[in-house]
Amino acid sequence: MTGRLTNWAGNVTFSAERFHRPASVGELQRIVAGSSRVRAIGTGHSFNRIADSPGDLVSVAGLPRIIQIDAARATVTVSAGLRYGELAGPLNEAGWALRNLGSLPHISIAGACATGTHGSGDANGNLAAAVTALQMVTAGGDVVTLSRDGDGERFGGVVVALGALGIVTSLTLDLVPAFGIRQYVYEGLPRDQLDEHLADIFASAYSVSLFTGWRGGAISQVWRKCLAAAVGSPAPAPWLGARPADGPRHPVPGMPAAYCTQQLGVPGPWHERLPHFRPEFTPSSGEELQSEYLVPREHAVEALAAIDRIRNRVAPLLRISEIRTVAADDLWLSPSYQRPSVAIHFTWVKDPEAVQPVLAAIEDQLAPLRARPHWGKLFAASPAAVRGRYPRLPDFQRLRSHYDPVGKFGNELVDCYVPAG
């Protein structure tokens, strides 16, 4: 490999010695069987070393492209390296939709599902919750297919797997009929209104995101993504003390609204409204780091108050913070495992040394609420603390030993936080 690969943010230089882009599953099987340490990389959008490998690093983006809709089952089978943005258009044209998307369409489907990536919406699980089956190449080079219907409980362990069980080559996802969304942005939601009406605010649309700089006072923006067909879609009128924005907005102060998906209530298809950012632009602010913590939804107000207590440490390093909700699921390593959650996200300036101690301070504040960090973002919590928040971790560790008895798919981060059983 000439020149080292880095992640999207540029804060991680991968240590892998060799990089592969197989063109067939057979070629991938030979690479895996012949390697002693190998891991998959998606589109490299994680902010920590989760995708790194001490030996071989493999992208499945070169495998034959598959988008196979099964209308009778309402599912689609896709090649694992496909990006959500590449899948969404063809699905919509065929009259189908995914139930939800993350804030950007650029990430790979396998990479997003492996870390429990999520969007927002009280009734919407994370993106991995849509997976009904997957195929992966395991340590010996064998191809294994697992499904929600055929593999019972064990399936809960293999979807959010941090790349530690094998290299996923295809996934089958649940579909729903295509739907339209109207996106409304409100500004200046008073903090006391949020505390008093938090559940109603998040229940007020299909997907709701709050943005704040933690500078005290009001929540700067509320993005409400409403089903276009819903009776009584909110008219752009003042709401709980917040004002409807009089033009398009970017959530990060000073960034151009042209990067963002259409707002002002203009109806549009699900895939052009659920992500915050358009596929043709560099998402978010580019020069940044990210962290996120999921806490049980019943502790949302407490969690926000806890961050507020240290806002003078948070705000100076922050570009923006986003607060979303995620439905509970049954995926063992999912940060929303069996907990309807509120997810508190931080987009930081790109200064890892300054950010690290603030992560520790946030984690101290959120520890009593048993916060689970996003696997693909920066966190400081000790392995013991993180492990204690995943009741099915011992079962996952047994799965690791089963599919990867020699520890081929491990790396420093994974071996530290979810060691083989």
Ligand X SMILES: Cc1cc2nc3c(=O)[nH]c(=O)nc-3n(C[C@H](O)[C@H](O)[C@H](O)COP(=O)(O)OP(=O)(O)OC[C@H]3O[C@@H](n4cnc5c(N)ncnc54)[C@H](O)[C@@H]3O)c2cc1C
Among 133, 139, 167, 318, indicate the residue that binds ligand X (CB under 6 A). Answer: 167
Among 40, 219, 327, 344, indicate the residue that binds ligand X (CB under 6 A). Answer: 40
Among 103, 132, 135, 172, indicate the residue that binds ligand X (CB under 6 A). Answer: 103
Tell me: does residue 118 bind ligand X (CB under 6 A).
Answer: yes
Distance between CA atoms of residues 336 and 17, nearest Å: 34
37 near 55, Cβ under 8 Å? yes
Residue whose CB is less far from ligand X, 16 or 40:
40
Tell me: does residue 251 bind ligand X (CB under 6 A).
Answer: no
Binding range to ligand X, per CB under 6 A, among 64-72, 102-110, 186-194, 356-364: 102-110
Residue whose CB is less far from ligand X, 87 or 239:
87
Tell me: does residue 163 bind ligand X (CB under 6 A).
Answer: yes
Distance between CA atoms of residues 320 and 347, nearest Å: 5
Binding range to ligand X, per CB under 6 A, among 110-118, 173-181, 234-242, 255-263: 110-118
Residue 242 is classified by DSSP as: B
Among 110, 139, 185, 295, indicate the residue that binds ligand X (CB under 6 A). Answer: 110
| Site track for ligand X across 4-33, x = CB under 6 A | ----x-------------------------
- How many CA atoms are closer than 13 Å to the CA of 290, on its beta-carbon side? 26
Residue whose CB is less far from ligand X, 41 or 129:
41
Tell me: does residue 198 bind ligand X (CB under 6 A).
Answer: no
Tell me: does residue 168 bind ligand X (CB under 6 A).
Answer: yes
Residue 349's region, left for phi above 0, alpha for psi from -120 to 50, else beta, is: beta
Angle at 419 between CA 328 and CA 412, to 5 degrees: 105
Tell me: does residue 45 bind ligand X (CB under 6 A).
Answer: yes
Q: Match 């340590």 to its residue by tokens.
A: 139
Distance between CA atoms of residues 275 and 83, nearest Å: 13
CB of 409 to ligand X, least distance (A): 8
Distance between CA atoms of residues 390 and 383, nearest Å: 11
Residue whose CB is less far from ligand X, 12 or 306:
12
Give the sign of the dihedral formed by CA 288, CA 305, CA 208, CA 217.
negative
CB of 228 to ligand X, least distance (A): 22
CB of 323 to ligand X, least distance (A): 12
Residue whose CB is less far from ligand X, 78 or 239:
78
Among 359, 376, 378, 381, indicate the residue that binds ligand X (CB under 6 A). Answer: 376
Tell me: does residue 224 bind ligand X (CB under 6 A).
Answer: no
* Run of H or E residues at 348: strand 341-348
Nearest CA among 395, 400, 358, 394 for reference residue 379? 358
Q: 300-309 and 191-202 are packed helices; what angle lies between their axes, rounded to 10 degrees?
A: 150
Q: Specify the 3-state DSSP secondary structure of 92.
A: helix
63 near 42, Cβ under 8 Å? no
Nearest CA among 320, 317, 343 for reference residue 211? 320
Residue whose CB is less far from ligand X, 111 or 156:
111
Residue whose CB is less far from ligand X, 78 or 194:
78
Facing residues of 244 across strands?
186
Which residues inside 49-68 make contact with ligand X, applying CB under 6 A? Answer: 50-51, 60
In the sheet that holds 18-20, the strands lie side by side as 18-20, 56-59, 38-41
Tell me: does residue 296 bind ligand X (CB under 6 A).
Answer: no
* Number of residues this chain uses to bind ligand X (CB under 6 A): 34
Q: Where are the alpha helices (DSSP H) in 116-169?
A: 155-158
Site for ligand X, rule CB under 6 A: 8, 39-46, 50-51, 60, 80, 102-104, 107-108, 110-112, 114-115, 117-118, 162-163, 167-168, 283-284, 290, 374, 376
